Amino acid sequence: MSANLSRRGFLAAGGGLSLAAVLGLSGCGDSNSDSSSGDGAKDLKLLLPGAVPDGWAAVLEAVNKKLQADLGFSITPQFINWNNYGSQALLKFTAGEKFETALQARWLNMAQLVGSGSLVDVGPLVTGGKYPNLQKTLNDKLIELNKWSGKLWGIPQVNSAGRIHHFAIRQDLAEKYGITEITDYPTLEKFWYDVKQRDPRVTPIALSQNQSNLTCVPGPVAMFNAASWENANRIAQSFSGGSMPFFLAENAKETGSSDPVPFWELDGVVDALRTIRKYYQDGIINRDALNVDAATTKGLFTNGQTASAWATTDGLSSTTLLPGLQKAVKGAQLANVVPLKGGKSAKPNQTFQADNFTVLNAKGASNERAMQLEDWLSIKENHDLISYGVEGKDWKPVGADKFEQLSTYAFPGFALCWRTSLERRSALMTESEADWFSWAQDYDNFTVDTFASFIPDVNPVKREEAQISQAFTQYGNPLFFGAVDVDAGLDKLKKAVSSAGLDKLQTELAKQADEYLKTVK
Amino acid sequence: MRANSLVMESGSEPGTDDAVPPQRPADPPRTPAKRPRRRPPLGLVLLALPAIAFFVVFSYAPMAGLVVAFKDFSISDGVFGSPWSGLDNFRYFFSTGDAPRILANTLFLNTLFLGATLLTGITLAVMLNEIRVKLFKRAIQSVIFFPYFVSPIVISIILQVLLAGVGGSGGAANDLLHVFNLPQVEWYTQPGPWPWILTVVKIWQLGGYLSIIFLAAITAIPEEVYEAGMIDGASRTQMAFRITVPLLRPTAAVLLVLGIGRIFYGDFGTIYAIVGDNGTLFPTTDVIDTYVFRSLRQLGDFGSTAAVGLFQSVVGFVLVVLAVLVQRRYAKESSIL
């Protein structure tokens, strides 16, 4: 063999390597091998958001031991940091990676994945009787209202019937100012101004950058929209999260015409924007909302540096906020404040659409096994194991439906195994939160919205939608956090969305919503 | 050529009476003279193979994915199965009213970063070269090199503490302004100062790093050149500006050309970590990379993002070629190619 390599040989070798790599890459990208109905997968890969829970190795070992004994396979969840979850999960679908389940939602990329045929319609699987434990834990109304054009693209992950955004406040401070209970918005506003005046080192409420769509546009309530707390019967519709919200006609069901209007035309929204601007200037809300993340605002609250925090009726405020708060501030108390006019009899509108879904990857190794896993997790003993950890080490039961946490183990159950009827309540849950959580678990406490299961298809207007989303990030978010003058800011936003294709978006939404109305009985 | 002309000259020797001009010898056959074939030694090729494989797999093979820029990409159809869409993906970016501003920001910020960091690097290197106490010099080198390793996320937190403080209504900078009875500035809602704030951050990050590269180049300057300068009576300052700085030009040229090649890349890490989705700062800080990232995150539109990526690469390549050509034309001695 010659010790030298000719130039031609050298180039040929390089070219060959390139070709091999390209072919290898295309093989990865376009793999259409479909084993989705197979049952040979021995180890299921799951995509979950967030950091690996403390003490996860011991819990996973216990889960896999039991799973192996019961069903003959194991799981290997992959935890992806929240900041990257959306893009990484999408890339994994795009690359044709083999995994069985993932967290998806409208606010992530679910619509796009449905459009591209990447998800399995789990409707027939859930209701077919093959997975009785799972079927038993999913309410019929939940399944029906989470179908998109008759298909269920994921298992809805909810622990209550309806979700109403509201506030967790420092009850000890409220009592210090002579306020025993806050039940309406004016009293809540007074509380914030009392905090500002009497505890100037405490910020009344801190917002984070991902809460811009919660401040003034009702869905059916908005944090600083007093009109929405008076009358929680309008829910904004948009093609995707973080984009242009529209309001559809209140009497659409009767007229058959959806007649969408931009959000600023709804009564109370511009007033809310002015209120937010005032709060910003008065120091009621933090001035760095555009830059801080949710973990930072949570930290500020648990350190006692803010007096209120965002909450929703998922029963998690006490667990996530109270231990840290009481550790940092002696004698601190927490209360959940839902300033709805009419309180628990208000019957606010709800679409009952789940915020999160566990979806099945159409290119997964075994959809059958993934459903078996979801069924297995719907058995209380198994659900408790993965949700709360090893009994005696991570938690201990308190009564039949409560638990006391013994370690810092925290599993993202909303991405895999939230079942309303199986969830245990934290023994730490405050009385006010327990009240509202119980209320939120009853479907009869809500009014079904006319457009409850309307999911607009973004594909016909995806270019315009992308450009409008950009305009919202630039002009909408500063407006929603009070960082800019309302008139000037709103004017800029209107101009930007108009040139980005607002008319086309509005026309397409009207067309799709009118079609939907024809299907509403 | 030189050998041929010697032969021609020797063909008509001076002083001969021959009236007939000597015949020009017939042209040699056009076939090139047989030279021994130069083969790269197999050992060296084998040594280079891992690097070649690395670039093939991670740099050249992924180029196949550029077809996505011309496709209406669908996840289920894959890269090669998705239908063609012509130039639609390119229209997405250029049809936005934001395109001119984003392109201008990208060019302006990167030019600012490149100029400021190179200048700082050279200045620091010249200054470090003048320090004679070895231990002190090394300590200073370590200190100024350290920011290169600081994550942009950490820098963003430091900036928030300096410019905004807890709750966004304070910060060390505002405290300082207060001391001088100057009005407070809401830094995170004022786009004007941000190109300069980001430039200061880049200088802090890269100034020390680049100074080490220039310092290495300075050590390669022959001692005799300085000795000649001393004999001519040059002061240390004169030697720094007349000897050191001119001899750093080749190194600066290499760094400049490399920087120009990436001038359409907006230093995503630093800008996004610091500015994030703060729309009030976009008028002066939004660059192609941050815009594309937001598009990808919000809608997951791979076609449009691949199109902008391809546009960036092509413009970057053209700029590198232009930079090299300009260098060859006006500063041939320091040209790298």
ipTM of the complex: 0.73
Flag whether pLDDT at A367 surpasses 50: yes
CA contacts within 13 A on the Cβ side of A435: 10
Please give the full DSSP string across B88-152, using - where no structure is assigned.
HHHHHHHTSTTHHHHHHHHHHHHHHHHHHHHHHHHHHHHHHHH---HHHHHHHHHHHHGGGGS-H
- The answer to whether residue A451 is domain-embedded is no
Q: Could you tell me what percentage of chain A is helix, strand and coil, using 3-state DSSP and rounding each to the nearest 5? A: 45, 15, 40
What is the domain-level CATH number for residue A174? Answer: 3.40.190.10
| A195: containing domain | 165-234+258-351+428-446
Please check whether residue B72 touches A, CB under 8 A.
no
Length of chain A: 521
Distance CA B290, CA B277 (A): 9
Please check whether residue A29 touches B, CB under 8 A.
yes
The predicted model gives A441-453 an average pLDDT of 92
- The answer to whether residue A322 is domain-embedded is yes
- The answer to whether residue A72 is domain-embedded is yes
The predicted model gives B263-291 an average pLDDT of 86
Tens of pLDDT, residues A149-180:
889 999 999 988 899 999 999 999 999 999 99
Task: Look at B168 and A288 and tell me if their CB atoms are within 8 Å.
Answer: yes
- The answer to whether residue A49 is domain-embedded is yes
The predicted model gives A425-450 an average pLDDT of 93
β-pairing, A101-104 vs A43-49, is: parallel
Flag whether pLDDT at B333 surpasses 90: no
Domain ranges in chain B are 93-334
Closest CB to A469 among B98, B278, B298: B298
pLDDT score at A36: 45
pLDDT score at A509: 96
Distance CA B62, CA A18 (A): 10
Residues from chain B contacting residue A466 (CB–CB below 8 Å)? 92, 295, 298-299, 301, 304
The predicted model gives B65-94 an average pLDDT of 84
Could you say which of A363, A392, A423 is where a domain stops?
Answer: A423
Residue A203, amino acid: T
Residues A342 and A378 in one domain: no
Residues A143 and A174 in one domain: no
Residue A2, amino acid: S
| DSSP element (H, E) containing A469 | helix A462-471
Please check whether residue B45 touches A, CB under 8 A.
yes
Flag whether pLDDT at A188 surpasses 90: yes
Q: Which residue has the tokens 């009118």?
A: A514
Flag whether pLDDT at A465 surpasses 50: yes
Residue B234, amino acid: A
Q: Where are any strands of DSSP class E within A283-416? A: 308-312, 334-337, 349-350, 356-360, 395-398, 402-405
DSSP state at residue B27: P
Tens of pLDDT, residues A239-285:
876 689 999 999 999 999 999 999 999 999 999 999 999 999 999 99
Please check whether residue A227 touches B, CB under 8 A.
no
First to last CA, chain B: 25
B89 and B70 Cβ atoms separated by less than 8 Å: yes
Flag whether pLDDT at B336 surpasses 80: no
- The interface residues of chain A toward chain B in range 166-205, judged by CB-CB distance below 8 A, are 203
Please check whether residue B14 touches A, CB under 8 A.
no
Mutation site, B44, B54, B75, B184, interface A, largest A CB count within 10 A: B75
Q: Give the whole-number percent of chain A exceeding pLDDT 90.
A: 67
Residues A109 and A226 in one domain: no
Q: What is the distance in angstroms between the Cα of A172 and the nearest Cα belonging to chain B? A: 22
DSSP state at residue A275: H
Q: What are phi and psi of A237, to 5 degrees?
A: -120, 140
A405 and A426 Cβ atoms separated by less than 8 Å: yes
Residues A331 and A364 in one domain: no
A510 and A256 Cβ atoms separated by less than 8 Å: no
Tens of pLDDT, residues A282-320:
999 999 899 888 888 999 999 999 999 999 998 989 988
**What pTM did the predictor assign?**
0.79
Total domain count, chain A: 2
Residues A344 and A381 in one domain: no
Of residues A23 and A411, which shows the higher confidence score? A411
A158 and A326 Cβ atoms separated by less than 8 Å: no
Q: Assign domain B93-334 to its CATH architecture.
A: Orthogonal Bundle (1.10)
Tens of pLDDT, residues B132-191:
888 998 899 999 999 999 998 899 889 988 998 877 777 888 889 889 988 888 888 899
Residues A336 and A295 in one domain: yes
Phi-psi map region of A337: left, alpha, beta (phi>0 left; psi -120 to 50 alpha): beta
pLDDT score at A7: 56
Tens of pLDDT, residues B6-64:
333 333 344 444 444 445 555 555 555 556 666 778 888 899 999 999 999 998 988 88
Task: Identify the weakest region by mean pLDDT among A4-8, A136-140, A266-270, A376-380.
Answer: A4-8
Residues from chain B contacting residue A474 (CB–CB below 8 Å)? 279, 282, 286
Q: Is the dihedral angle over the CA atoms A19, A25, A28, A33 positive or is it negative?
A: negative
Helices (H), B185-277: 194-219, 223-231, 236-239, 245-247, 249-261, 268-275
Flag whether pLDDT at A143 surpasses 80: yes
Residues A419 and A432 in one domain: no
